[in-house]
């Protein structure tokens, strides 16, 4: 049985194919192993359930993100870790999500668009570049770089495991998750320093 | 701190002004007092967060109820009691909500439309009768009577407290909530008989 603990929201943002879903799923597994209740609100799942009648205009995207933020709020205030993994391209929408969720960590999955185009997990960049998809983030719609993310994962430079450890370390340093026993040795000094620097810059430490 | 327990969904349905929200809020309080985590997904809250772009056509109402059912599913599978209190006029939508939610109790808040018109909590019947609101359930849009609700609360004949006790008793008999200590005397034989009869008719007992 999952332990009874406070929930929180981990809000991923990043270009299509930057690695959001991969990291969200890895984080889900890592937290479940530690006994947390976790729900991943993946962009596709959310579009399937909440977005009929919404298109890809700025206004509609913001509305979509507002819905995700609200569901995350309902879950996290009931002890669940809500992990969202939508593209989430606008600062305004991310700010609102943060306002709606008291215990909130923003993870910017940073990756140059050229690398994302090479990966093109769902083949959508190809279509967007041909003009077959309109308002495609990174090609024909802007991605506003997050101004205050607690974690930045550079997925063209780090392994997924390294990115995951940064996120876990940040959650521990913020007191959102408990430090694992004997974990002192689980991270390199370098990883630890990167995370601490980031949280210091943000004024948390 | 709330005890760690399995969640479930209580799905209210009934005409506008039949008493859904009153009973949902009373049930919320009663369950919170017993230590459960509870979220009420009220029709108005849901419309505010999830329904932009949806109108009041049959199709759009079904889509709206599908969203409520999905949020209830996310909550209840994480140990939360999800209480929904939308009009929920179509059997098809209620059936789908039941399919989506394993631990599910349907409460039909039954009240003659004449009584609802007299109550007219939000003044909407008045407008609907004047033709100022279209597709208003009970006036210009059908309410399909639930065919298999676990509980029927007749709010023109019962007090709210009596209705609440029926619901709690049903939740206990289904094993969704624990029987309170010393509770044997808390219900009249008559109340107990009504609830047992209903669950027998549905094949639960």
pLDDT in tens, A8-35: 999 999 999 999 999 999 999 999 999 9
**Per the domain annotation, does B139 fall within a domain?**
yes
- For residue A52, give the DSSP letter: T
A12: β partners = A107
Look at residue B184 in the predicted model and tell me its pLDDT: 56
**Per the domain annotation, does A192 fall within a domain?**
no
Whether residue B2 and residue A1 make contact (CB cut-off 8 A), yes or no, is no
Give dist(CA A56, CA A64) in Å, integer.
9
Q: A124 to chain B nearest CA, in Å? A: 26
Residues of A marked active site are found at 88
Q: Which pTM does this prediction carry?
A: 0.88
Given CB atoms, is B103 within the 8 Å cutoff of chain A? no
Contact present, A74 and B75 (Cβ < 8 Å): yes
Domain residues for B21? 8-153
B151: β partners = B107
Number of domains in chain A: 1
Q: A106 to chain B nearest CA, in Å? A: 22
Given CB atoms, is B75 within the 8 Å cutoff of chain A? yes
**Per the domain annotation, does B199 fall within a domain?**
no
Query: Which of B4, B37, B63 lies at the smallest CB-CB distance from A52?
Result: B63
Residues 6+ apart with CB under 8 A from B175: none
**Per the domain annotation, does B170 fall within a domain?**
no
The answer to ipTM > 0.95 is no
Q: A35 to chain B nearest CA, in Å? A: 13
B158: β partners = none
Instruction: For CA atoms B56, B57, B58, B62, give the dihedral sign.
Output: negative
**Per the domain annotation, does A187 fall within a domain?**
no
- For residue B85, give the DSSP letter: E
Query: Confidence band (pLDDT; 50, 70, 90) for B183?
Result: low
CATH of the domain at B74: 3.40.50.300
**Per the domain annotation, does B65 fall within a domain?**
yes
**Per the domain annotation, does A169 fall within a domain?**
no
Give me the residues of A, 19-58, that contact B with CB < 8 A: 37, 39, 49-50, 52-54
Given CB atoms, is A75 within the 8 Å cutoff of chain B? yes
C-alpha distances out from residue B33 to A6, B3, B36, B39, B180, Å: 19, 11, 7, 14, 11
pLDDT tens profile B37-66: 999 998 777 888 887 778 888 898 899 899
**Per the domain annotation, does A96 fall within a domain?**
yes
């Amino acid at each position: 049985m999952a332990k009874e603990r406070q929930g929180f929201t981990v809000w991923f943002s990043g270009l299509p194919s930057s690695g959001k879903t991969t990291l969200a799923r890895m984080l889900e597994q890592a937290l479940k192993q530690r006994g947390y209740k976790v729900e991943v609100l993946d962009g596709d799942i959310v579009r399937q359930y909440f977005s009929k009648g919404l298109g890809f205009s700025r206004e509609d995207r913001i509305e979509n993100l507002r819905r995700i933020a609200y569901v995350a709020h309902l879950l996290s205030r009931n002890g669940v870790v809500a992990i969202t993994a939508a593209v989430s391209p606008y600062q305004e929408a991310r700010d609102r999500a943060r306002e709606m969720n008291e215990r909130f960590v923003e993870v910017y999955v940073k990756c140059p668009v050229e690398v994302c185009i090479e990966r093109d997990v769902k083949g959508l960049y190809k279509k967007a570049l041909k003009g077959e998809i309109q308002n495609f983030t990174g090609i024909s719609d802007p991605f506003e770089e997050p101004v205050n993310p607690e974690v930045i994962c550079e997925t063209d430079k780090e392994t997924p495991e390294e990115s995951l450890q940064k996120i876990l370390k940040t959650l521990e340093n913020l007191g959102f998750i408990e430090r694992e026993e004997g974990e002192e040795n689980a991270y390199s000094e370098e990883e630890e320093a990167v995370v601490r620097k980031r949280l210091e810059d943000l004024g948390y430490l």
